[in-house]
Amino acid sequence: MVAMQHLEINKKLLPLKAHYLLWNAGIGPVTPYLTSYIRQLGFSSIIVGVIYTIIPICGMLAKPVLGSIADRFHCQKLLFLFLQLLTAAAFLGVFFSPKVDVSRQANLTCYDNNLVLKESTTIKNCSLDDIRKENGFGSCKLKCRVDDDLAGIFCNDFKIDEFCHNHPISLSFSATISKGKTTLIDSSVILSIHNITLANGTTYDPICPKNNAPFSSRCDIDCADDQIQSAIPEGAIEDDKVTGMYQFWILLIFMIFAWVGQAACVSIGDAICFELLGDKPERYGYQRMWGSFGWGVVSALTGFLIDFISKGAADKNYSIAFYTAAAILALDFAVSTQIKYDQKRITADIFRDVGRLLLNIRVLIFLVWCLAVGMCTGLVWQFLFWLVEDLAGQRGCSGMENVKTLEGLIQGVHTVFGEAPFFFISGRIIKRMGHVNTMSLVLFGIGVRFCLLSVIKDPWYFLPVELLNGISFGLFFACMASYASIIAPVGTEATMQGLIGAVFEGVGVSVGSSIAGSLYSKHGGAITFRIYGIGCFVLCFVHVIVQYLLRVSGSQDIKYKVPKDALRKISLVDEKELTLLCKQ
């Protein structure tokens, strides 16, 4: 009979495990690559920092609000399912948002008596070798500003009368580029023009001014040949003009919906999980580790597929990531409907109960810890892949060729081999060490991880370092979620998970992203990670000292307890109030 009962519990939790697997497999193909995708759209690190400051704040507001709605109206499961569909739709919205027209530009000028396109670039000689070895031709469409110098060439040398008087402001034409003559001079790429063809179909041989007078005309350039296209750097959107672009606001709105959907779904899902676990919260890690497997495997595969379908293209093609995410999240919705859950625990006054909880000194320290780890998480989520790509770019053409594969492998390592094992053993670690000591260990682990990342020059060596994500996120998240569940007054479980998640993501990730964006812009990735790493060591030391002083003063730590015992242990309310609270 006992064996049959145990089997029944496992069956009851099976859809929950499947949810964690599919949910993380659904957001894994998109979430880690979003900052790189936004960077490819032409936005700077400052703007990325701004975006990832705004959306966590929206998540911060949404988490406790939606959590309290779920608790108050007893609709946790219904809201949980809706948020899954919202996230899938928002991901597709991000992908199909109108793109800012960030054109590539080059100067039409003369070099060595030949008409050429010239532009400063960071392209490597090895990439130019790939262009030159074909020794063929590529076609580019140009739209050039027509000044007096360029008008003089078309009038005097090409004998086109319309350019001799009242010439047009701009001119569109096609240019045939001689790939074999492409060269790199003083960090500028030189594309030799074989001939030009006007809109009327007339073709001319390139001619420089007969008097050898210097001239230069700025041109927008769009090449059908991906190799030539990649030789001209894509323009960047000026930070002060971003807010005037409707494309930015549409992108931001869908990003907000995607973040709110993810953030609130996670907190409500965890509340459902702890409710189903009952008085065994230490088994949370057994459920949540399936999410690490889903995220790691699918995000790693997605990175490889992005590189594969983008081979030879000037930009990475992220379509496979967004379509995969939407499909898996739809499957997660179908599976999650099978979770057998009825919300039974209620409270008469959610805000009163949670408000009393926030008066406890240990809970306040816990919130500060969540904020600090959230700041560090903001750096990882938004800028780890920027650091990978910057280091890969410094290693030449071979470094960038498989950079998405590397990023996918990093995701796989720090989830499957880092997070999952620590989720599995998190219950035993926290039972043995207590939540407080676990919090100190997390800060120390993050400090070690960031300092190592700041000194490594070859991004492929990030792979073993990312095993520390088991402590940085796996152990942290289990500690955070279980602590929030244990201290939550009866009937406020979703509200409490939302509140803690709001502090972690809404405040921590938001502030961390903003600071990281500014530091990255001024000092680069390595210095930014080093600053954060040293900061974690300092916070770890302070946390140990403060907790020691609290322990000496008689305040006690909590370990895994059922909620009523946890409330009694940390003396949140007196005995009379506790009895009344439990009856409610």
Q: Are residues 176 and 292 in the same domain?
A: no
Please state, in angstroms and rounded to a whole number, the distance separating the CA atoms of residues 435 and 557: 7
CA angle 265/33/501 to nearest 5° reads 30
Answer yes or no: do 89 and 152 share one domain.
Answer: no
Q: How many domains does the chain have?
A: 2
Mean pLDDT of the chain: 81
> Within this chain, do residues 90 and 116 fall inside the same structural domain, yes or no?
no
Q: What is the pLDDT of residue 572?
A: 37
Last residue of a domain, one of 231, 253, 287: 231
- Please indicate, yes or no, whether residues 17 and 118 belong to a single structural domain of this protein: no
Residue 33 has a pLDDT of 84
Q: Which residue range(s) make up the domain with 157?
A: 104-231
Terminal-to-terminal C-alpha distance of the chain: 34
| Domain stops at, among 200, 231, 262 | 231
- Give the pLDDT score at 328: 95
Q: What percent of the chain has pLDDT over 90?
A: 22
pLDDT tier for residue 494 given thresholds of 50, 70 and 90: low
Task: Convert the pLDDT of each residue in 20-60 to its tens digit.
Answer: 999 999 998 998 888 888 877 878 777 887 887 788 788 77
423 and 275 within one domain: yes
Q: Alpha-carbon distance 298 to 324, whole Å?
A: 9
| Domain co-membership, 293 together with 207 | no
Residue found under tokens 């720090």: 414
Residue 510's pLDDT band, with cuts at 50, 70 and 90, is confident
Q: Are 215 and 98 in contact (CB under 8 A)?
A: no
Pair 368, 462 in one domain: yes
Q: 80: which 2 tokens?
A: 């949980």
Instruction: Report pLDDT digits (tens) over 426-479.
Output: 888 888 888 888 999 999 999 999 999 999 998 999 999 999 998 998 899 888
Does 491 have pLDDT greater than 80? no
248 and 153: one domain?
Answer: no
For residue 176, give the CATH number of its domain: 2.40.30
CA–CA separation, 212 vs 204, rounded Å?
19
Nearby residues of 291 by Cβ (< 8 Å), 6 or more positions away = 20, 21, 23, 24, 423
Does the pLDDT of residue 582 top 70, yes or no?
A: no
Can you give the pLDDT at residue 556?
54
pLDDT single digits (tens) 213-255: 677 888 989 888 877 887 887 776 777 888 888 889 999 999 9
Confidence of residue 3 (pLDDT cuts 50, 70, 90): very low
Q: 173 by DSSP, 3-state: which?
A: strand
* 133 and 38 in a common domain: no
Say whether 171 sits in a helix, a strand or coil: strand
Amino acid at 145: R
Q: Using a pLDDT cut of 70, give the percent of the chain over it.
A: 85
* Boundary (domain end) residue, out of 172, 200, 231: 231
Q: Are 536 and 446 in contact (CB under 8 A)?
A: yes
* Cα Rg of the chain, angstroms: 29
Cα separation, 373 vs 369, whole angstroms: 6
Among 376, 371, 374, 394, CA closest to 524: 394
pLDDT at 520 over 60: yes
The answer to whether residues 186 and 37 belong to one domain is no
Question: What distance in Å separates the CA atoms of residue 216 and residue 116, rounded to the nearest whole number?
Answer: 10
Is there a single domain that holds both residue 381 and residue 494? Answer: yes
Ranked by mean pLDDT, the top range of 285-289, 327-331, 506-510 is 327-331
Question: Are residues 513 and 438 part of one domain?
Answer: yes
The pLDDT, as a whole number, for residue 356 is: 66
Residues 6+ apart with CB under 8 A from 59: 259, 260, 262, 263, 264, 501, 502, 505, 506
**Closest CA relative to residue 255, chosen from 97, 131, 141:** 97
